Each structure stands twice: as structure tokens, then as C-alpha cells.
Structure 1
Amino acid sequence: MSNIAPKTQKAVALKYDKEKQGAPKVVASGKGEVANNIIKLAREHDIFIKKDADLVELLSKIEINKEIPPMLYKAVAEVFSFIYKITNDKRQ
């Protein structure tokens, strides 16, 4: 028997509209059942899911509908770049 409790699942959803926003913003965030629902909705709508526990931890501290701070631009840009590449590869 183990005394180690399983980690609670966390999820954060980002949205970026370069015409309307200066930076991506957090549109959903949660843990446990809320995180499971965020992930379920993403899958239902074919939205790419990137697992990065450290980044999720940082993003989960940002209020909903707030843009990410400049210190996270690089990390989030890498995620968006990865998603863009995967999306383009699927189209070809």
C-alpha cells in the first residue's frame, strides 16, 4: 500500500486572436473534474492538447480572460509554434 496520493489533473485553455489581442489569454482553468471537462471539450472540438505540467502550473495562476504575462511569452510561443507545425503537417 502506498501513501502517495495521485496528482490532481490540471488544465488551462488559451485563446489568441492576433487581430484583437496583444497576447494569448487564459479562457479556462481548473483542476480535477473541471480539468477533465476542459480536456474533454478540447478533444470534442479537435483542439490540440499539449501536456506540460510546469507551464500549466504557471498559467493556472492567471485570472480567466487575462492575457499571459510577458515572462511566459516564449514558453507559450513554443507551444503555439508546435501546434501550427502539427496542424500544417496534417493538411499536407
Structure 2
Amino acid sequence: MKKSTNIKAVALKYKAYEDNAPKVVAKGKGVLAQKIIQKAKEYDVPLFQNEALADMLLSVEVGEEIPPKMYEAVVEVFVWLYNLEEKAQLSKG
């Protein structure tokens, strides 16, 4: 594992038809990032790794929607997640 001081984590939440854009629900570096990652693992939340995106998202306050200039970058995460969920559904059938 990387040194804890270098670890960054940002958790996003998005509810279609309710939210205008994804919201940052948790963020942190070092020990706090490790706790965010651990919680995600405990609840089987998929982890997407992109250091540049994490750096950008760390500038967004917790509880705030991501700004429009970040939409394109965050779409990559949601496409990845959609594909992951689709594969999981196919493997069940």
C-alpha cells in the first residue's frame, strides 16, 4: 500500500431524477482517505482510481455538487460503474 500521507479519496453520490449533479459526500487525504476506502470496501462500494480526478474533486466541499467543468471527467467514473454493474447482472443470469 502507498504511504498513508499520499493516499487521497473522494466519495461521490448521485441519485438520478433527484440530483442535478454528483455530490461529494466524503473526502480526505492520508488516514482519513484510508478510512473512506475501508468503509467503501465494507459496503462493497466499487473503487475507481484516478489520481488527477481525485485531486480535482478534493477542491469541492463535502455536500456540494461537482461543478460543471468537472462533469466530463466524472462521466468516466459513471460509465465505468455502469459497465461494472452490467457485467455483474450478466453473470447472475
TM-score under structure 1 length normalisation: 0.90
SS at match of 2:6: coil
Q: Is the 8 A contact 2:4 2:34 kept in 1?
A: no
Q: Is the 8 A contact 2:24 2:66 kept in 1?
A: yes
Give 1:7 deviation, angstroms. 5.5
- Structure exhibiting the larger radius of gyration computed from Cα positions: 1
Q: Which residue pairs with 1:91 in the alignment?
A: 89
* Aligned-residue RMSD, C-alpha: 1.4
Q: Which residue pairs with 1:28 in the alignment?
A: 26
Q: Is the 8 A contact 2:24 2:65 kept in 1?
A: yes
Aligned residues: 88
TM-score under structure 2 length normalisation: 0.89
Unaligned runs of 5+ in 2: none
Q: Which residue pairs with 1:18 in the alignment?
A: 16
The amino acid that maps onto 1:69 is P
The 4+ residue runs of structure 1 with deviation greater than 3 A are none
Larger helix proportion of the pair: 2
